[in-house]
């Protein structure tokens, strides 16, 4: 949402009388809530993902129980 639209919702539609807490979520991380919206922050929406977050580990293709160190990951061309 653009900050202008957020400001419109908070100040003109809700008139500052009702809290407006944008949320975002997906099936991987769950639901993330926004920090409280304030004029001082230019009505910017900032999400904080729930903890603990999902963690991925890369494994060997033949021996899937063996993980590969992050530093060794390379993008193939």
Which pLDDT score, from 0 to 100, does residue 56 have?
67
CA distance 25 to 32: 6
Task: Enter the pTM of the model.
Answer: 0.53
* Mean local confidence (pLDDT), 9-38: 84
CA distance 37 to 13: 14
The H helix count followed by the E strand count for the chain is: 1, 3
- Per-residue pLDDT band for 77 (boundaries 50, 70, 90) equals very low
């Amino acid at each position: 949402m653009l900050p202008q639209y957020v400001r419109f919702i908070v100040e003109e539609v809700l008139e500052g009388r009702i809290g407006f807490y944008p949320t975002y979520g997906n099936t991987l991380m769950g639901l993330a809530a926004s920090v409280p919206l304030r004029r001082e922050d230019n009505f910017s929406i900032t999400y904080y993902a729930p903890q603990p977050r999902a963690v991925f580990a890369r494994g060997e293709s033949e021996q899937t129980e063996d993980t590969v160190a992050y530093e060794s990951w390379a993008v193939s061309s």
